[in-house]
Structure 1
């Protein structure tokens, strides 16, 4: 879609990387679709959402979110994309840029 930001940081959730072992697949699709994916330091680390972890362990969860956001925002993305609604909501609560599920980039209605 023409009005969708092209310069993005992708947050690969633990569910995708470790649970399903599909790390790199979404990134490859996004690159093939013409998105510029910025490098994200320590991309394998948790964002702090971890299911209910953000609700039940905020003292541990919030520093993880801040560390993840620092890494995601370091390259100056127009948008952060992820593949997990829990991560999306957790990151968006503190992000200075929009956080969206990656599939929304293909049909932003």
Structure 2
């Protein structure tokens, strides 16, 4: 059984919104994603594609398609973690996003 990924969503100047998949929180803190989806496509950052869960790849492809249609699409629902707000900016350590129930 593979652990669920840590997923972050960030905005960049060049690529617009980018959704990144990490194997664990440690790799996320070090900015070492295994997948990243943007309007340009899905980039793979693993020695072998077979090292990445098929569901993660399928999700990254769906995220890419959504961003290709709208580079400013609201992708925050994909995120499992976000940076903690420090002095008005999200620049602190990653923390889980509490999903709203209901």
User: For the superposition of Structure 1 and Structure 2, which TM-score range results when normalised by the shorter chain?
Assistant: under 0.3
Could you say which structure has the higher helix fraction?
1
TM-score by structure 2 length? 0.26
Could you say which structure has the higher strand fraction?
2
TM-score by structure 1 length? 0.25
